[in-house]
Amino acid sequence: MSTPAQQAANRANAQLSTGPKTAEGKQKIAHNAVKTALTGATVLLPTDDVAHYQKHIAKTFELWQPANQREEFLVQSIADTEWRLLRIPALQAATLALGRIKHADLFSDQPEDLRPMLIEAHLQEACGRQLRNLSLQESRLTRKREKDIAELTQLQSERKRVEQAKINAAVETYLRHRGEPFDPAEFGFDFSVDEIEMLVARRQYGCRNEEFIKKQAARLRAERLAA
């Protein structure tokens, strides 16, 4: 545990490193934060289409159907990581395009049919660091997405297994007490009796016709109320 003197020193040091004070300094830091938006907490670039990003998020949530806070966090992380991954090909193309503009006059003393290949070879060397960094970021983001998907898949599989076990227990308990007054809460179930009767009807008839299932559930309800 830190001593009072160490805590005071830490607070003093923090005051000395609170970031840039001038508007110019703050603007520079902000620009650094969104150069590629491939690292850190920044997701959107100033040039990004916010509406398109929101649609991307909505589609990802629709695909994964998170049911609790941890699942929502993982789905958001997956969506943001995919958004960053989608940016990388454009950044790679832009890096090379900028290089072609900057080095368009190179090898002017060489035969015209060789110049494009020579310029491209030069670009691979001149832009190699930026391209390698983008490739590394792509690998890192891909691993992060795979890790999040693996955790989310495991969580959802376990949640569905538990939910199915609860459904099975509710159905079996209802059937054991069929023809008697039945209160699910007395057996620790958070399903309503109407929901359980729908589940029983669906299990018994295995029919996808929802109207037919509802009619069978209504018949079960009538039997229960007549008991």
- Check pLDDT > 70 for residue 97: yes
pLDDT in tens, 10-66: 433 333 333 344 544 433 433 333 345 566 566 777 778 889 999 999 999 999 999
Q: Looking at this protein, which amino acid is placed at residue 73?
A: F
Cα(103)–Cα(218) distance, integer angstroms: 78
Q: pLDDT, tens digit, for every residue of 138-162?
A: 999 999 999 999 999 999 999 999 9
pLDDT given for residue 73 in this prediction: 95
Distances (CA, A) of 182 to 28, 70, 191, 221, 224: 68, 35, 12, 10, 8
Q: Give CA separation, 40 vs 32, 84, 86, 110, 130, in Å.
A: 11, 11, 16, 45, 18
Q: CB neighbours (10 Å) of residue 39?
A: 12
Residue 226 confidence class, pLDDT cut points 50, 70, 90: confident
**Could you tell me which residues come within 8 angstroms of residue 99 by beta carbon, excluding any fewer than 6 positions away?**
123, 126, 127
Average pLDDT score over residue span 196-209: 84
